[in-house]
Structure 1
Amino acid sequence: MKDDNGIVLARVHDDYLYESDLKNIVPSNISHHDSIVIIRNYVNNWVKTKLMVEKAKFNLTDEQQNFEQRLEEYENSLIIYEYESKLIDQELDTSINQTELKTFYLNHVSDFELKENIVKVYYCILNKQFDSIQHIEEIFNLPDSLIIDSLDIMANIYNLNYSIDTANWIAFEDLKRIIPIETYNQDLFLKNKRFIKISDENNIYMLKFVDFKIIDDISPFSLVEKKIKDIILAKRKILLTNKVRKEIFDHAASNKDFEIYYNE
């Protein structure tokens, strides 16, 4: 359809959508088929939106449709947010040393209780056809100080699936996705198991617990270090924005840029 204003794509009551309204909607580097799909979806959404607005206007009172104050508040919030974001990017001190991090940790230990059981482990996953299973098990019975080098050597020779990373904690539930551990009481299991050897249809799994912490224990510092950094930075952002707001207010007050007449 075409009228004096151009090609009409859709109409809702007295409101018209013209082809010219879509000039920035369709990218220039897409196929004809894709452009048709985009235009069809846009037109359908335009009609649905217009119909919903008409329905809403019919069912809302004039007072409910008065959005001027809310729009002004929203616009003000957006402007302030953009300004404060720019300010934070320019002026926020993001350097946090280990002393500050650990001091915060020690002063707020009760805030860092574990919500899940965590462990440090050595493990190795062996195909049942592997011919040195007994030797690997002997390695797991060595003192911890010898396991790492011995297992690392064997794993590299035979390209084994293993882990000797005891610098990082792993959630027990995540470990169960690697090793098919079955237990109905994780706390009791962790307190009573040091080495486990289990198997399934294809593999044999060997695992040695180096350390563990259970739910409600205090999280190790290494596990919450990033969270503490985020908390400290969030507090600094609040302090910075509050400081700037006060400076703006005080400067305006000294210049008599505003007056407050309400004195109740």
Structure 2
Amino acid sequence: MALLTGCINTLKDNNSPLLARVHDKYLYISDIQGIVPDNSTPRDSIALIRSYVNDWVRTNVMIYQAQQNLPAGQLDFTKQLEDYRNSLIIYRYETKLIDQTLDTIVTDNDIESYYNTHSSDFELKENITKAVYVIIEDDLEIEEKYDQIFSLPDSLLFDSLAYYTTTNTVSSYLDTTKWLSFYNVQQIIPIETYNRELFLKNNRFVKIVTDRYLYFVKFIDFKIKDDISPLDFKRNDIYNIIISRRKVRLAKKVRNDIYERALKNDEFEIYYH
């Protein structure tokens, strides 16, 4: 403990006493600069240093044993490191060129065309729905008002909800255009059902009363798992797919262009026929 406490003080004056040794490898205090935050308590600092030193010892004990017991051919990573370095260099340069020239504008026509061509790829993995909901506390007057609103035809319902649902709710969701995961809806609304598909097919409105809250839910539309997903539900995914494909094509073009330019400028020679 005294040694580690001294280490904390030494960290501040930049001396480098020895902390640990594994055979001919040494760990000095100067090697651990930065692992102890300036605002750490002495107890926390000691714990951090002790943990770091123990990990260092364990790691280097394993390295030593591996070096002693593996054949020399399995310890030479020169080629792998060079290959890895080259891959990183190429990746970073390609990324830079792609970022400079990539067309990131994807039109609605692009998305719709891809969706229509690949619609079979977009089978739903879950049930989804369009729905609006309101959650209120147990208040008879407010409850009666929402009973009236949710009995209105759709042509009046949504405008009425937008007008009335301001400060008298615990929570609400009034977007009629977005598809929602039915599972996620169930995380908010305590809908209990053993058959989600059948529930969606048979219910357009539900009112749920709990000890504390009342839940009003209007289901506008739904799609069942394994149905073809609506375009809007996959719009962002399709955008990302299109961009990803453009990147792949552009990366191939970049490589080919660089090769052809080098060939034209006599930058390389191949010595076989």
Q: Same fold (TM over 0.5)?
A: yes
- Aligned partner letter, 2:193: T
Q: Percent identity?
A: 47
The structure-2 alpha-carbon separation of the partners of 1:112 and 1:69, relative to structure 1 and needing over 3 Å to count, comes to same
- Matching residue of 1:18: 28
Q: Residue 230 of structure 1 is aligned with which of 240, 244, 257?
A: 240
Hey, what's the Cα distance between the residues in 1 that align with 2:36 and 2:214? 55
Distance 1:22 1:164 in 2: 55
Which stretch shifts more, 150-159 or 200-209? 150-159
1:144 paired to 2:149: no
Distance 1:100 1:201 in 2: 50
CA distance in 1, matches of 2:116, 2:92: 35
Q: Which residue of 2 aligns with 1:47?
A: 57
State yes or no: 1:80 paired with 2:90.
yes
Q: Do structure 1's residue 102 and structure 2's residue 112 form an aligned pair?
A: yes
> Which amino acid counterpart does residue 113 of structure 1 have in structure 2?
E
Unaligned runs of 5+ in 2: 4-14
Question: Counterpart of 2:143?
Answer: 133
- How far off is 1:40 after superposition? 3.0
- Is structure 2 residue 70 aligned with structure 1 residue 57? no
TM-aligned CA deviation for residue 251 of structure 1: 2.0
Contact 2:123/2:229 (<8 A) preserved: yes
What is the TM-score of this pair, normalised by structure 2? 0.85
TM-score (norm. length: structure 1): 0.88
The reply to whether residue 213 of structure 1 matches residue 223 of structure 2 is: yes
Residues 196, 208 of structure 1: 8 Å contact kept: yes
Does residue 194 of structure 2 align to residue 184 of structure 1?
yes
Q: Which moved more, 1:66-75 or 1:39-48?
A: 39-48
Q: How far apart are 1:218 and its partner, in Å? A: 1.7
Residue pair 2:128, 2:179 contacting (<8 A) in 1 also: yes
Q: Relative to structure 1, is the Cα distance of residues 150 and 20 closer, same or farther in structure 2, using a 3 angstrom cutoff?
A: closer
Stretches of structure 1 that go unaligned for 5 or more consecutive residues are none
Distance 1:97 1:227 in 2: 14
Q: Aligned partner of 2:257: which letter?
A: E
Quote the Cα distance in structure 1 between the aligned partners of 2:150 and 2:93: 58
Pick closer, same or farther for the CA change 1:262–1:137 going to 2, 3 Å: farther
RMSD: 2.3
3-state DSSP of counterpart to 1:156 = coil
